[in-house]
Amino acid sequence: MTEARPEQRRITISDPQVMRALAQPARIAIMEHLGVVEGGATATECAEVVGLSPSATSYHLRALAKSGLVEQAPSRGDARERLKAQAA
């Protein structure tokens, strides 16, 4: 028995800034994670997925935000949360 795979969306990227942002494997993993979570994720949550420190993951999230691939998500109400991102 074969499992049905969800249809994947194909995107053509021609912007050099976006290409540079996605040239880092950790950033691709972050984008994949943000694509499946509801309401975005914090740098700490993304760090657990990509196997980096929260500060390194925050750096990658800022690079993705600079290229317009992610944006800051609304807060969940925890005053300690600093940066939460969601796919743009």
The pLDDT tens digits for 46-68 are: 999 999 999 999 999 999 999 88
User: How distant is the alpha carbon of residue 8 from its chain centre?
Assistant: 17
Q: What is the CATH number of the domain that holds 37?
A: 1.10.10
pLDDT of residue 8: 65
Return the pLDDT at 72.
82
pLDDT at 48: 94
- Token pair of 42 as six digits: 């914090």
**Total domains, the chain:** 1
3-class DSSP assignment, residue 87: strand
Buried b (16+ CB within 10 A) or exposed e, 37-65: eeebbbbbbbbebbebebeebbebbebbb
- Residue 34 lies inside a defined structural domain of this protein: yes
Output the CA–CA distances (angstroms, integers) from residue 48 to 34, 45, 63, 86, 87, in the order listed: 13, 5, 18, 16, 18
To the question of pTM greater than 0.75 for the whole model, the response is no
Decide if 43 is inside a domain: yes
Q: How confident is the model at residue 35, as a pLDDT? A: 86
In a domain, 37, yes or no: yes
In this prediction, the residues of the chain whose per-residue pLDDT falls under 50 are none
* pLDDT computed for residue 39 by the predictor: 78
Residue-range definition of the domain harbouring residue 32: 16-72
For residue 2, what are its two tokens? 């074969």
